[in-house]
Amino acid sequence: MDLRYGDVERALVRAFKIQDTDVKAFRARIRHLRNLGVPDLPKSGSGRQISYTLDHARELYLALRLNQLGMMPDAIARLFARIRPSIAKWFKAADEHPGNPVSALVACNNFGGQLGEDETTVFSIAAHQSSKSMTFAEAVERYGTDKRGAPMIILPISAANDAIKAALGIEGGA
C-alpha cells in the first residue's frame, strides 16, 4: 500500500487527536523525526515524492508515542535504528493475532538523552493486558527495572496498530 506524506500526517493528527491550533507544532515534530531517520524512508532526489508504507506510518506512530511519553527524538532514532526489524515483527504478530494483544517491553537506562551502544534493551514480545502506553513513572512503578536498573516501558503494539489503521481508513483498525 502506497501512501503520501499528507495521508500519513492527517492520520497521525487524527490518531493523536491534535487540535487545529497544534498541527503546526505536531508537523514540526514529525519533520524532526524524519530528519533523524524515523521512519526509515528511501532517499529521493530533489522534488521527488516519497511513497510511505503502512510500516512507515506505524513506525512514526510509535516514535511519536514515545516522544509524547517523554523520550527525546535523538534517543528514539537510535533506539529504532537498533530495533527496526523487531518493530516489523511486532506489527506482523499484531496483524496475525488481532484478539491477542501484543506489546513490547523496553528498558531504557537513559530515557531522555545520550544512549550508548548498549544502554537500551528491547525484550521480547509479551502479551500485556493493558491497551494503553504507560508513562515512564507508571512503567517503573508497575514493572520495576531490569537487572541493570533500567526503567521499563510498555509499548502496546496492537493498540498502536489499530489506531493508525483506523486513522488511515484501513480495514482491521479499531
Query: How confident is the model over 81-134, as pLDDT tens digits?
Result: 888 888 888 888 888 887 777 777 665 554 444 434 443 344 333 333 344 555
Grid cell listed for 124: 521480547
pLDDT higher than 90, residue 47: no
Q: What is the pLDDT of residue 63?
A: 92
Within 10 angstroms of residue 170's Cβ, the number of other Cβ atoms is 16
The whole-angstrom separation of Cα 17 and Cα 25 is: 13
- Cα distance between residue 61 and residue 13, in whole Å: 10
| Helix or strand holding residue 8 (H, E) | helix 5-15
Q: For residues 61-68, give the mean pLDDT.
A: 90
The domains of the chain are located at: 5-168
Q: What's the whole-model pTM score? A: 0.76
Average pLDDT along the chain: 77
